[in-house]
Amino acid sequence: MNYTDRKPRILVSRAIFPDVLAQLEAVFEVEHNQADAVWSPRELTERLQGKDGALTTGGERISAELLQACPGLKICANMAVGFNNFDVPAMTAAGVQGTNAPDVLTETTADFGFALMMATARRVAESEHFLRAGQWTRWSYDMFCGSDIHGATLGILGMGRIGQAIARRGFHGFGMPVIYHNRSRLDPATEATCGARYVDKDTLLTQADHLVLVVPYSAASHHAIGAAELARMKPTATLTNIARGGIVDDAALAAALRNRQIAAAGLDVFEGEPQVHPDLLTVPNVVLTPHIASATLATRRAMAQLAADNLLRFFGDGSVLTPVNTLA
Ligand code: GLV
């Protein structure tokens, strides 16, 4: 397509920072969603008719069916590091470039992972609910005793950029021995920076005092933590998931929390979110947050800017900054 005759047509599928939107509107013909409606797959498909590109968030599924119905689409720029909402093989087959938003959110997301792990281990949410409910009438020696972070063994499943950033926090800041499991082992220099030791998955489950999940979601990681894995963990252990819903079997986790098979969990992501498994809402020893690990204004702005820059480059010189697929 030659864009000398007309501007490229872009769909921005959710509300974004107005100044980032303005950059797109200066160059493209943009249909935006500043009202921030959540479109059904059908409505998304309809709105993508005749569009050349899209800025999506992790919530919009770019499926083979959608791609078939939108033959003009050439690029989807995700404002998220995770891109399990993309059917990448179907995009590649259809000649659609995908991009994501890595790096700019690494430290912010690691901060949150650490915060959620600490809140979980030290029972911050549970004790706050108790206080707000007017139940705090006296001191007692064992009231809301949790478990220590400093010196405890930090386990990390998925040792990419965010996993490494969490490991560095634990090792350098809190004197935590760090163990990890990953598809591939890190090089020795990176392991040393993170103070991390590679172990098999069962060792990770059985030895971690605080297990943090930072693995991308795929068919291979679906229910990587289910009833069998929870049964291998220490009864004093905590589990924190800042990766994706579906990596944990939420029903099995709720049962394990209720039976005190593990001590507590911190969850920022859920199977079928924004729905939350009803059993998780009734167990006290879980901290629940609405998928906000990357949510600081500075980081969300950087993510939006990176997605916009991918679109601007693509329709400028044909390049992108952060591809998730390679087109022939
Ligand atoms: C958030 O979950 C992201 O993938 O950026």
Report d(CA 86, CA 103) in Å as an integer: 19
Cβ neighbours of residue 46 under 8 Å, at least 6 residues apart?
none
| Summary count for the chain: helices (H), strands (E) | 14, 12
How far, in Å, from the CA of 237 to the mean position of ligand 1?
Answer: 25
Domains of the chain from N-terminus onward: 9-102+297-317 (3.40.50.720), 106-288 (3.40.50.720)
CA of 145 to the centre of ligand 1 (A): 32
Radius of gyration (Cα) for the chain, nearest Å?
22
Ligand 1 atom with the smallest distance to the CA of 80 is 5
Which region holds residue 254: left if phi is over 0, alpha if psi is between -120 and 50, else beta? alpha
User: Is the minimum distance from the CB of 242 to ligand 1 under 6 angstroms?
Assistant: no
Task: Give the number of the atom of ligand 1 that is nearest the alpha carbon of residue 82.
Answer: 4
Answer whether 82 contacts ligand 1 (Cβ < 6 A): yes
Kindly report, residue by residue over 147-182, the tens digit of the pLDDT: 999 999 999 999 999 999 999 999 999 999 999 999
Using CA atoms, how far apart are residues 215 and 66, in angstroms rounded to an integer?
27
Give 80 Cα–ligand 1 centroid separation in angstroms.
4
Tokens standing for 226? 């289910």
171-209 burial, b if ≥16 CB within 10 A, otherwise e? Answer: beeeebbbbbbbeeebeeeebeebbbeebeeeebbebbb
Strands across the sheet containing 29-31: 29-31, 9-12, 53-56, 75-78, 97-99
| Low-confidence residues in the chain, pLDDT < 50 | none
Element (H, E) at 101: none
- Give the residue numbers marked as catalytic: 244, 273, 291
Q: Assess contact for 75 and 54: CB atoms under 8 A.
A: yes
Is 323 near ligand 1, meaning CB less than 6 Å away? no
Pairing of strands 9-12, 53-56: parallel
Q: What's the pTM?
A: 0.96
pLDDT at 140: 97
328 vs 323: CA distance, rounded Å: 13
Is ligand 1 within 6 A of the CB of residue 196? no
**pLDDT single digits (tens) 251-309:** 999 999 999 999 999 999 999 999 999 999 999 999 999 999 999 999 999 999 999 99
Ligand 1 site, residue 80, Cβ cutoff 6 A = yes
